[in-house]
A and B are shown apart, each in its own frame.
Chain A
Amino acid sequence: MSGFWGVTRAIVGREFLRFIHQRERFIAALVRPLVWLLIFAAGFRAALGLSIIPPYQTYITYETYIVPGLCAMVLLFNGMQSSLSLVYDREMGSMRLLLTSPFPRWWLLFCRLFGSTAISILQVYAFLGIAALFGITLPTLGYIAVLPGLILGGLMLGALGLVLSSFISQLENFAGVMNFVIFPMFFLSSALYPLWKMAESSPLLRDICAFNPFTHVVELIRFLLYLQFNLHAFAWVVLSTVALTLLAVWGYDPARGLMKRKG
């Protein structure tokens, strides 16, 4: 069992070291949501009127509304960054070292997933801290209550990154992920506008948003930040996490031949 703990510590530790070595990545991860919060949200404040919807009990500013969506955006981008690292590792060869460890492959993948999730959460809290400095605050206990939601959401989006990395054969193809995964997931969700607002313009778009697992990560985080629990969102995220993790394990199954693509 100590071996399992040791391999977990090593893989997570390596993810952290890699993150520390990439200072630009940390800065970008902070700047991105702050740009949305301080510029985009300020501009749209007047344009988007929001009614009182759960979990909010009073009228809120648009900046307050999009904070949970931006937390989820940090998780999403980090999940994709992790996917990019995995493809890079495969191209550079270091993936071979990981996959020839005698430990079960599913455990090795889980450790990678856990490491990238831990880094995501660190970034989310850094973002929430800076947002608080700009006066966008949340219930104090909400900062603690949201942690399980961030872990679950981070695991789900990290698992999505693992799945994508098992199907992306070359680093150059990663731009496609940006176009076909990150942007649709983010814009077709409740991160920037509530679903009822979306339904006003198109019921079909609203249904697509409701089907998007990212919407449920956003809602899970939103409710937990206000010390409420959204069972529907929770169940949807758990289901998506399990499905994506199984798909990732299948994607990395040696019998399927991931390394056929010159890993």
Chain B
Amino acid sequence: MRLRPKAQSLRLWRHGFPGNLRPWPGRVGRTRDQTIFSAAAAMTEGLSVQGLSFHYGPKTALDAVSLDVAPGRFCALLGPNGAGKSTLVSLLTRLLVAPEGEISIAGHDLRTAPRKALAALGVVFQQPTLDLNLTVRQNLGYFAALHGLPRSEVPGRIDAALDRLDMRARADEKARALNGGHRRRMELARALLHDPKVLLLDEPTVGLDAAARAAITAHVHDLAEQGLCVLWTTHLTDEVRDSDALLVLHRGQILHSGVTGEIRGGTPLSDWFLAQTGATA
């Protein structure tokens, strides 16, 4: 599977700035390495979570979780099964509302301004969310309408989104006819249709073969390099690069945060992760 090179990955305002350079309010020409967990940038443009707790009855799923992901960062949220990743994704997408804590998406508080916050968020869920009886184009059109995109813009946006992932030729096929890798690409194309500022992917490579996994992972890294704020939840350590921001979630708490290469030291990430959580990576 081949995805388009990163130069074609994002449109509009993200274009026009070479490589990983793009201007920010108050600064110009910031390289992505300069910001790792910049709370200020995360609060205004990226993703910020402060003191988030959630309970299923007496069971604590998340315990005072805080994280900041600045624009232009690929942040891997690594955690074993049952760590609380899916609960966190449900809270970030407002499928659940937490009684404690704050979530800010691109500067919009999810509690007080949910419409603006959700409009700035692109999501690829772990579970497929395609209507298999609809064509690729119909699925994307449905999503565009759910996000209130102007009707006149929709065909162009769909074509661009499909081009970005080399899916244009499949546009009029039913989703049912696509293989797992292509369905995932289509879901990624759909998540980018409304030009979100924050992209959330919940174990997006589950069920894909090695080539499809590698291609999706590389493509999303490219998107981050071009300025998108990416939170990628996974339990697979080989999807995480040394330059990525890393959060380790275990039993509802953030165990570690930092740059992957720095916090794992000389130990392979899978071994380091296993030692930290006692889980198989």
Which residues of A are at the interface with B, using a C-beta cutoff of 8 A? 2-4, 6-7, 9-11, 14, 17-18, 21, 92-94, 96-104, 108, 254-255, 257-260, 263
**B94 within 8 Å of A by Cβ?**
yes
Mask: chain B, 125-156; 1 = CB below 8 Å from A; 0 = not: 10111110110001001110111111100000
Query: Which residues of A lie under 8 Å from residue B143 when comparing CB positions?
Result: 97
Alpha-carbon gap, A10 to B143, bound state (A): 9
Query: Which residues of A lie under 8 Å from residue B134 when comparing CB positions?
Result: 14, 17
Assuming A17-B134, A254-B96, A259-B96, is B148 touching A103 (CB within 8 A)?
yes
Quote the shortest CB–CB distance from B88 to chain A (angstroms).
13
Q: Are A10 and B96 in contact (CB under 8 A)?
A: no
255-271 of chain B: CB within 8 A of chain A? none
Alpha-carbon gap, A92 to B99, bound state (A): 27
Contact of A2 among B93, B128, B150 (CB under 8 A): B150
Which residue of chain A has the shortest Cβ distance to B127 in the bound complex?
A93
Query: Which residues of B lie under 8 Å from residue A17 when comparing CB positions?
Result: 133-134, 138
Contact of B96 among A7, A21, A94, A260 (CB under 8 A): A260
Q: Which of B2-10, B111-119, B219-227, B241-249 contacts A (4 or more CB under 8 A)?
A: B111-119
Alpha-carbon gap, A229 to B204, bound state (A): 56
Query: Which residues of B lie under 8 Å from residue A98 when comparing CB positions?
Result: 146
Assuming A6-B151, A100-B94, A254-B94, is B146 touching A260 (CB within 8 A)?
no
**B36 within 8 Å of A by Cβ?**
no
93-118 of chain B: CB within 8 A of chain A? 93-97, 99, 114-118
Q: Are A94 and B129 in contact (CB under 8 A)?
A: yes
Alpha-carbon gap, A42 to B259, bound state (A): 78
Query: Which residues of A lie under 8 Å from residue B117 when comparing CB positions?
Result: 102
Known: A14-B131, A96-B125, A259-B90. 11 other contacts (CB 8 A): A11-B146, A14-B134, A96-B123, A97-B146, A99-B94, A102-B114, A102-B117, A102-B118, A102-B148, A254-B97, A263-B95
Contact of B128 among A3, A93, A101 (CB under 8 A): A93
Query: Which residues of A lie under 8 Å from residue B13 when comparing CB positions?
Result: none
Alpha-carbon gap, A180 to B93, bound state (A): 34
Alpha-carbon gap, A219 to B130, bound state (A): 41
